[in-house]
Amino acid sequence: MTRVNIAGLSEHVGAGVELQGWLYNKRASKKLQFLEIRDGSGIVQAVVSKDDAPEAFESASRLSQECSLRVSGVVARHPKHAGVFELAVTALTELSAASDYPISPKDHGTDFLMDHRHLWIRSRRQHAILRVRHAIIRAIRDFFDGRDFTLVDAPIFTPNACEGTSTLFETDFHGQPAFLTQSGQLYMEAAAAAFGKAYCFGPTFRAEKSKTRRHLAEFWMVEPEVAFMELAEDMQLAEEFLSEVVQRVVRERSDELERLERDVSLLKKVEAPFPRISYSDAIALLKDNGKDAKVGDDFGAEDETIISSAFDRPVIVHRYPAELKAFYMKRDPVDARLSLCMDVLAPEGYGEVIGGGQREDDLAALEAALTHHQLPKEAFSWYLDLRRYGSFPHAGFGLGVERLVAWICGLPHVRETIPFPRMLTRLTP
Ligand code: 4AD
Ligand code: MG
């Protein structure tokens, strides 16, 4: 008997096969039992007939949700649904029982489900989300690999802050204080000088005290950095990158997005070029919409929603006041109060998915910025070397994978976008 997986059943119509998996759900009539079996690759309905397979029928009646099992049967096309297959069971063995599985098909509260995340990821919806996440990550890597970027991994233990000292997780590194990385950017700047085009992709950490639907304590970020690239090209790279990734995932994960009831017509509009507006245009737009906004304000989630609602695709907001941004941003030569930075805001209220810009490449200006931000110069000595030895204009950005997953899947909260979320109030499972 051929051992198959559920995703491959279409190639075995009419043949006898064996598969192994878990019982997802079950319903029964007097003469028939309908088992929904999942094996990770898909879910199939297995029909057990009392008349045709009395022993299997008897075993099936004792199975409970999420027991592991092995079944043999003959593959048939579903009588009504094209592309769907069924299994007419001939034999069935329970491999390991699962009594009182905590997640029943009824509704559970979010905290309960989050506490059982290690089991919850077996369910259809979570499975679909994590499959979309995988496709996003693959598309991200292919985009940069296809453009000859070199992958350069950044460290996770770091001696200094990148994105401000207020969100650092401190840890003990052999008796010396160290921080979990907030961003690999500073290391990618070193990599850009070595490879021209580089990117890193890994977990990053922020001790954000805010409990919002967009913030995780641990999230994955992809960060490209390019030598001799300035802000205008950085924006172009970001829009080409984002539109290619979104379009590819919409194509490759149409089944999962349908299961998530995502309206993909909105995602299909995500095509470069994206509209670009300056920070001051964005302030004016907020005022036009009745918000009490003034230059110098940072944008909250509601502001970002108002700004992005004015467009049918992501919008790039550039040149924020330098006071709102990190120490490494290059000042705008046209107006030194502004940074040569940009954020990409996703539509439908998803807000900032990308942040980046051009880096300060002048040694004296960067030293002054460190002093202004009260950052210790010694810890950044290696970073200043990049300006001491052949400084060069360069730019890049960071995309937070979970916010992209939330947007593409149409989820209200980032907690379901990562297999095991770490949030202000969650460290388990
Ligand atoms: O805007 P951020 O803080 O930018 C940086 O870290 C730069 N050093 C990146 C660079 O230029 N190489 O973060 C970048 C992105 C945000 O746009 C958002 O998508 C995501 O990272 N992000 C978070 N995602 C989930 N939870 C959080 N707490 C996040 N903080 C940032
Ligand atoms: Mg940002």
Domain ranges (residues) in the chain: 2-96, 117-416
**Percent of the chain topping pLDDT 90:** 95
What DSSP string runs through 29-94?
-SSEEEEEEE-SS-EEEEEEETTT-HHHHHHHHH--TT-EEEEEEEEEE-SSSTT-EEEEEEEEEE
Residue 188 binned pLDDT confidence (cut-offs 50, 70, 90): very high
Rounded distance from Cα 352 to ligand 2 centre (Å):
7
Assign a CATH topology to domain 117-416.
BirA Bifunctional Protein; domain 2 (3.30.930)
Determine the pLDDT at residue 160: 86
Tens digits of residue pLDDT in 327-341: 999 999 999 999 999
Q: What number does the ligand 1 atom closest to the CA of 403 have?
A: 19
Tens digits of residue pLDDT in 346-398: 999 999 999 999 999 999 999 999 999 999 999 999 999 999 999 999 999 99
CATH superfamily of 2-96: Nucleic acid-binding proteins (2.40.50.140)
Q: What is the mean pLDDT of residues 273-282?
A: 98
Task: Answer whether 197's CB lies under 8 Å from 217's CB.
Answer: no
Rounded distance from Cα 56 to ligand 1 centre (Å):
54
Which spans in 177-230 are helix H?
185-195
The letter for the amino acid at 17 is V
Residue 193 CA to residue 392 CA, distance in Å, equals 8
Determine the pLDDT at residue 264: 97
pLDDT at 210 over 90: no
Rounded distance from Cα 385 to ligand 2 centre (Å):
25
DSSP category for residue 423: B
Q: Flag whether the pTM goes above 0.85.
A: yes
Q: Is any atom of ligand 1 closer than 6 Å to the C-beta of 183?
A: yes
pLDDT at 303 over 90: yes
- Cβ neighbourhood burial of 203 (10 Å; 0-12, 13-18, 19+): middle
Tens digits of residue pLDDT in 12-57: 999 999 999 999 999 999 999 999 999 999 999 999 999 999 999 9
Q: What is the mean pLDDT of residues 266-271?
A: 96
In this structure, how many other beta carbons lie within 10 angstroms of the beta carbon of residue 195?
A: 18
Residue nearest to atom 27 of ligand 1 (CA): 215
Residue 222 CA to residue 298 CA, distance in Å, equals 24
Residue 169 CA to residue 65 CA, distance in Å, equals 41
Residue 273 CA to residue 254 CA, distance in Å, equals 24
- Cβ neighbourhood burial of 410 (10 Å; 0-12, 13-18, 19+): middle
Q: Is any atom of ligand 1 closer than 6 Å to the C-beta of 415?
A: no
Task: Answer whether 56's CB lies under 8 Å from 70's CB.
Answer: no
Task: Answer whether 183's CB lies under 8 Å from 230's CB.
Answer: no
Determine the pLDDT at residue 266: 95
> Which residue has 């909260």 as its token pair?
413
Residue 293 CA to residue 282 CA, distance in Å, equals 9
Q: Determine the 3-state secondary structure of 273 from DSSP.
A: coil
Q: What is the mean pLDDT of residues 62-74?
A: 98
List of residues 6+ apart from 47 with CB closer than 8 A? 32, 33, 34, 35, 86, 87, 88, 89
Residue 427: C-alpha distances to residues 75, 173, 424 (Å): 44, 21, 8
Tens digits of residue pLDDT in 140-182: 999 999 999 999 999 999 998 888 888 999 999 999 999 999 9
Q: Is any atom of ligand 1 closer than 6 Å to the C-beta of 219?
A: yes
Rounded distance from Cα 52 to ligand 1 centre (Å):
59
Q: What is the mean pLDDT of residues 209-226?
A: 95
Q: What is the mean pLDDT of residues 175-191?
A: 97
Q: Is any atom of ligand 1 closer than 6 Å to the C-beta of 330?
A: no
Mean pLDDT score of the chain: 96
List of residues 6+ apart from 247 with CB closer than 8 A? 268, 270, 271
Tens digits of residue pLDDT in 96-125: 999 999 998 888 999 999 999 999 999 999
Q: Is any atom of ligand 1 closer than 6 Å to the C-beta of 356?
A: yes
Tokens of 119: 């089991």
